[in-house]
A and B are shown apart, each in its own frame.
Chain A
Amino acid sequence: MNLSSILLFIISKMNGERTINASLHLLRGKKSGQTLQDVEYFAVKPFFGILPKLTDKEFQKAAEKLRISAFIVEEDNLIRLTAEGASEVNKQEDYHFRGWDYRGREVVFFKRLALAVQTVSNLREGTHSFLPIESDRDIQLFVKRLFYRKPITSPHFAKEIGDELKKALIGCGMSDKQKFIFTGRLTGKRDTAKTWDQLARELEEQLDSIRLQFIESLHMLLDEIHSLDEYPILRLISDDIKVQTYLTDSAIRTKKLFEEGHSLGSIAEIRQLKLSTIEDHLIEMAMNESSFPILRFVSIEQMKAVIAKANSLGTKRLKLLKVAFPSLTYFELRLIMAVNEKGVV
């Protein structure tokens, strides 16, 4: 697994319907209307926001690799797979990302865990003073609360955490290499964690590959922790990590005004935002909330007609739909598509 292989997989999902940048936005977890819709349309939720800090340069390099191998081609800016690309995708192993559920928060989980491990690792040997590996105050306060009234100086307690961690690492099904990377990023009394460079050298792999395997292993571990009742301490550490509401903060504020009965124009005015942004928020709501009042915007007949057309054209491209339904606005078309993906219609 590396950035190129994941990119190829995503392109196979959006095959011929999107530009290369749609994949970049997806991997970074951009919270714009377009990207949030793409996530639904193309069933690529697992990859949403798995690399929040992905740079343009790294991304372009990965894309270039796919072009050179002739796995992808570009037509009118839209990217699609070649036959070689398609057979390459078929050879790939399954990915186990859960980007939509964790959105970069998995790293917060790991920071908490790393500081918790460093703390008990020192305390169990009677070392009460050490420089914390995590300087983030929020993380420090979290770990402090976590250990409130716990027997943190007892070697037995440290071992309990260690045993629980071992069990979860095995239970979640991550590869041995992933276990090596995961534990390599933990710091203890004598052993400091390894940097990404060091891990990449030890394993003789590229940095992007190591990072991605790490992120995937966190997603697998978090799922394991949440699905079984056997990990009391890890469960506490993963508190609040999984996304609770799938709406963005800004969309939540728009939703509140919308429910108070404001029109879109009036919401835009109150919030000092562009109308198109408010529309994006509505799309988000339509995608994520089953109670969304779609009929305030379009009729059942319109919805049925658009969906039938989309199916017969075999496309999700709004431009083509707009030609077929000139009387509907882009916003209305997007709403219909958003609700359709949810399977309500």
Chain B
Amino acid sequence: MNLTEELQRRFGYTEFRPGQQEVIEHVLEGRDTIAVLPTGMGKSLCYQLPGYLMNGSVLIVSPLVSLMEDQVAQMRKNGEKRVVALNSFLSYSEREKVIRQLDHFKFIFVSPEMLSRRTVVDYFRKLQLALIVVDEAHCISQWGFDFRPDYLRLGDFLKIIDRPPILALTATADQKVMFDIPYYLQMRSPVVERQSLDRKNICYSVIRLKSSIEKMAWIKNRVSTTTGPGIIYTSSRKRSDELAKELQSIGVSCQSYHAGKEQDDRSIIQSQFYNGELDWICATNAFGMGIHIGNIRQVIHEHMPSTVADYSQEVGRAGRDGLPSVATLLYMQSDEQLTSFIIQTDIPKEEQVRYYNNLLIDGMAPEEAAKLAGLSETGKRVIDYYMERFEVVEIIEKLLSLAEEKNTELQTMLSLIVTTNCIRKNILSYFGEESNLKIPQCCSNCSLPEMEWLTVEKPSMNKHAIMTWDERITKLLG
């Protein structure tokens, strides 16, 4: 079989992107495979093409419901009808309907928690599976917003079923992740296909400021003199809202985006951003995974991310179209404390674990107990997972070492900020890569040349003339 011909016939591309063909070949040979590909390098093709060439369905485990919905929408948009998403957002009857017709679908996206339900597993056992894909596989070992204890449970599911090859996909892979993925997924001597994670079109810049007032002034000046579309990452929902308001008040076309907004508004904001009706988005880390916008020119961090992995993922949303883009991190000294504080409040303390455990023993409902014990959402998820397997004392130890790990991660992130060496090299070495390439627009430590493309004449405010209601209907429908 000629893979390039299949690629041309089914997707209309004349050649593979780096790494794709190798991954597809391994998968077709039936090997377990770990593919480390930078964002925007066509990860989904790595399972779509083999899916068409193999008998049976492709099961894709995906960590975020929004991400899953986006991927499904994207595939439908490209004309594939035999695709479906199975997640806890479906109502009971919808889910039953989907489950009963599972064998009609070629591509089945599923959230990890669904795979810990026995009834669902029973259906999957009857199904002929060609391939199991674990998307964003780093979620197995990253604590934080992305962390899904349910991912750790995948091993249990994979043990029960008579399984086809597994393809684990990720765009970040430090040593820990590369150890955890095959371990938790119980992969059988997996092949690792790795592409450099270097994003040559992104230039990195760290700017040190003295106060949040200076930060605000810098951002205001930046967004009103340079090009969008851009994302400004902040530390909290509240901060995103505040910042968006400030920027709106000086006439910048900007909206905040986070998990606290209602679904319709989130769709609208995404669509406006996608269509170029909106220049800037102030977001928490909820904005990112699964957003397919190629032309993001800038990513600004108003706060300090807690790990290099998080940082490089967020930064990686810029410039997927391959054109020059800038990542700017604003830093002031107290940021370290703030981020450290956020991490610490997220990881449950000994007293909290004991208190939570006692409440459960007394028969209180888990949600209520978690509230009383002051556990974060992530904290509760993780403890619940650990409780199935370990004694309280062990859990406390694990959390302590986790807290230490997080602190080390934070220090690594900090060293990236304060270093006088090349930032790009630093990031790559974090992922175990070496690079000696000279890139003209590299980073603020490698003497950054003037970037003329970045500066724009801003058209004056009020892009849209206000339309009357019936003019609007006429515009939409004729």
Please give me the residue from chain A that is nearest to B245 by CB atom.
A197
Q: Is the CB of B255 within 8 A of A124?
A: no
Q: Is the CB of A169 within 8 A of B469?
A: yes
Contact with A along B254-271 (1 / 0, CB 8 A): 010000001111011111
Q: Is the CB of A187 within 8 A of B268?
A: yes
| B15: min CB distance to chain A, Å | 23
Task: Choose among B248, B469, B472 the residue that contacts A201 (Cβ–Cβ < 8 A).
Answer: B248
Task: Choose among B255, B271, B478 the residue that contacts A131 (Cβ–Cβ < 8 A).
Answer: B271
Chain A residues contacting B272 (CB-CB under 8 Å) are: 192
**B1 close to chain A: CB less than 8 A:** no
Q: Which chain A residues (196-247) contact chain B, with CB distance < 8 Å?
A: 196-198, 201-202
Q: Is the CB of B271 within 8 A of A129?
A: no
Chain A residues contacting B90 (CB-CB under 8 Å) are: 137
Task: Choose among B248, B474, B477 the residue that contacts A117 (Cβ–Cβ < 8 A).
Answer: B477
Q: List 21 A-B contacts (CB under 8 A).
A: A117-B477, A121-B476, A121-B477, A124-B477, A129-B78, A133-B264, A134-B267, A135-B73, A135-B263, A136-B263, A158-B477, A159-B478, A166-B470, A169-B469, A183-B472, A188-B476, A188-B477, A189-B476, A190-B475, A191-B277, A192-B277
Q: Is the CB of B255 within 8 A of A195?
A: yes
3 tightest A-B CB contacts, nearest first: A162-B477, A188-B476, A179-B469
**B159 close to chain A: CB less than 8 A:** no
Chain B residues contacting A142 (CB-CB under 8 Å) are: none
Known A-B contacts A131-B73, A180-B468, A184-B472; the reply to A193 vs B268 at CB < 8 A is yes
CA distance A197 to B281 in the complex (A): 14
Q: Is the CB of B274 within 8 A of A131?
A: yes
Q: Is the CB of A133 within 8 A of B476?
A: no
Q: Is the CB of B271 within 8 A of A186?
A: no
A sample of 5 more A-B contacts (CB under 8 A), given A135-B263, A169-B469, is A117-B476, A180-B468, A192-B272, A195-B255, A197-B265
CA distance A131 to B16 in the complex (A): 25
CA distance A117 to B472 in the complex (A): 12
Q: Is the CB of A111 within 8 A of B264?
A: yes
Please give me the residue from chain A that is nearest to B472 by CB atom.
A183
**B69 close to chain A: CB less than 8 A:** yes
Contact with A along B435-478 (1 / 0, CB 8 A): 00000000000000000000000000000001011101111111
Task: Choose among B255, B277, B470, B477 the residue that contacts A161 (Cβ–Cβ < 8 A).
Answer: B477
**B77 close to chain A: CB less than 8 A:** yes
**A194 close to chain B: CB less than 8 A:** yes
Q: Is the CB of A195 within 8 A of B269?
A: yes
**A176 close to chain B: CB less than 8 A:** yes
CA distance A284 to B468 in the complex (A): 45
Please give me the residue from chain B that is nearest to A132 by CB atom.
B73
Chain A residues contacting B269 (CB-CB under 8 Å) are: 195
| A52: min CB distance to chain B, Å | 11
Most chain-B CB neighbours within 10 Å: which of A136, A186, A191, A201?
Answer: A191
Please give me the residue from chain A that is nearest to B77 by CB atom.
A129
Q: Is the CB of A183 within 8 A of B477?
A: no
Q: Is the CB of B267 within 8 A of A191?
A: no
**A138 close to chain B: CB less than 8 A:** yes
Chain A residues contacting B268 (CB-CB under 8 Å) are: 133, 187, 192-195
Q: Is the CB of A159 within 8 A of B477?
A: yes
**A165 close to chain B: CB less than 8 A:** yes
Chain A residues contacting B248 (CB-CB under 8 Å) are: 201
Q: Is the CB of B274 within 8 A of A195?
A: no
Q: Is the CB of A187 within 8 A of B477?
A: no
**A79 close to chain B: CB less than 8 A:** no
| A109: min CB distance to chain B, Å | 13
Majority secondary structure of chain A interface residues (helix, strand, loop or mixed): helix
| A115: min CB distance to chain B, Å | 10
Q: Is the CB of B255 within 8 A of A155?
A: no
Please give me the residue from chain B that is nearest to A121 by CB atom.
B476
Chain A residues contacting B337 (CB-CB under 8 Å) are: none
| B183: min CB distance to chain A, Å | 34
**A102 close to chain B: CB less than 8 A:** no
Chain B residues contacting A187 (CB-CB under 8 Å) are: 268, 271, 476
CA distance A190 to B476 in the complex (A): 8
**A120 close to chain B: CB less than 8 A:** yes
CA distance A195 to B281 in the complex (A): 13
Chain A residues contacting B473 (CB-CB under 8 Å) are: 162, 165-166, 183, 186
Chain B residues contacting A71 (CB-CB under 8 Å) are: none
| A127: min CB distance to chain B, Å | 11
Chain B residues contacting A47 (CB-CB under 8 Å) are: none
Please give me the residue from chain B that is nearest to A162 by CB atom.
B477
Most chain-B CB neighbours within 10 Å: which of A165, A189, A195?
Answer: A195
| B472: min CB distance to chain A, Å | 4
Please give me the residue from chain A that is nearest to B265 by CB atom.
A195
Most chain-A CB neighbours within 10 Å: which of B248, B277, B475?
Answer: B475
Q: Is the CB of B478 within 8 A of A124?
A: yes
Task: Choose among B74, B466, B472 the residue that contacts A186 (Cβ–Cβ < 8 A).
Answer: B472
Q: Which chain B residues (42-82) contact chain A, with CB distance < 8 Å?
A: 69, 73-74, 77-78
CA distance A201 to B249 in the complex (A): 10
Chain B residues contacting A176 (CB-CB under 8 Å) are: 469
Chain A residues contacting B469 (CB-CB under 8 Å) are: 169, 176, 179-180, 182-184
**B2 close to chain A: CB less than 8 A:** no
Most chain-A CB neighbours within 10 Å: which of B77, B262, B268, B274?
Answer: B268
Known A-B contacts A117-B477, A158-B478; the reply to A133 vs B267 at CB < 8 A is yes
CA distance A184 to B477 in the complex (A): 14
Chain B residues contacting A169 (CB-CB under 8 Å) are: 469
**A130 close to chain B: CB less than 8 A:** yes
**B101 close to chain A: CB less than 8 A:** no
Please give me the residue from chain B that is nearest to A114 by CB atom.
B264
Q: Is the CB of B271 within 8 A of A135?
A: no
Chain B residues contacting A198 (CB-CB under 8 Å) are: 255
| B179: min CB distance to chain A, Å | 36
CA distance A133 to B475 in the complex (A): 18
Q: Is the CB of B265 within 8 A of A191?
A: no
Chain A residues contacting B94 (CB-CB under 8 Å) are: 137-138
| B249: min CB distance to chain A, Å | 10
**B420 close to chain A: CB less than 8 A:** no
**B175 close to chain A: CB less than 8 A:** no
Task: Choose among A133, A137, A161 the residue that contacts B271 (Cβ–Cβ < 8 A).
Answer: A133
| B88: min CB distance to chain A, Å | 14
Please give me the residue from chain A that is nearest to B474 by CB atom.
A162
Chain A residues contacting B189 (CB-CB under 8 Å) are: none
CA distance A98 to B454 in the complex (A): 53
Chain B residues contacting A135 (CB-CB under 8 Å) are: 69, 73, 263, 267
Q: Which chain A residues (100-122) contact chain B, with CB distance < 8 Å?
A: 111, 117, 120-121
**B119 close to chain A: CB less than 8 A:** no
| B240: min CB distance to chain A, Å | 12
Contact with A along B83-101 (1 / 0, CB 8 A): 0010000100010000000
CA distance A193 to B267 in the complex (A): 10
CA distance A180 to B269 in the complex (A): 19
Q: Is the CB of A155 within 8 A of B478?
A: yes
Please give me the residue from chain B that is nearest to A201 by CB atom.
B248
